[in-house]
Amino acid sequence: MAETFQLEVATPEKLLVNEQVGQAELPGKDGYFGVLPGHAPLLSALGAGILSFGSGGGQRYLKIEGGFAEVLNDHVSVLAEHAEFTENPER
């Protein structure tokens, strides 16, 4: 099994993230959910909150507001209505 997966996070204006990560936590419409390599296929609406992701090198955080996430074949695609990097991981 792979140790990482491809994460892409985009807004209608730009691509914010396109990298290999070891884990991610996303703010689903009905609560947060985590993704690890080998995750089952999933399509989810997103709510407002903090999307965290990273690997052995540390965590990074994006504050997002709505959108959708698709998990398929060790590839996570996030299309957020609005997203910006933040240093504050507080929900």
pLDDT score recorded for residue 91: 62
pTM of the model: 0.93
* Number of neighbours of residue 68 by Cβ within 10 angstroms: 14
Cα gap 9→46, rounded to integer Å? 12
Domain 5-85, CATH class in plain words = mainly beta
Q: Which residues pair with 91 in a beta bridge?
A: none
- Confidence bin at 31 (pLDDT 50/70/90): very high
Find the helix or strand (DSSP H, E) in which 24 lies. strand 23-28
Judged on CB neighbours under 10 Å (0-12, 13-18, 19+), 16 is: middle
**For the chain, which residues make up each domain, given as ranges?**
5-85
d(CA 17, CA 65): 16
**Can you read off the two tokens belonging to residue 15?**
């691509």
pLDDT digits over 35-81, tens only? Answer: 999 999 999 999 999 999 998 778 999 999 999 999 999 999 999 99
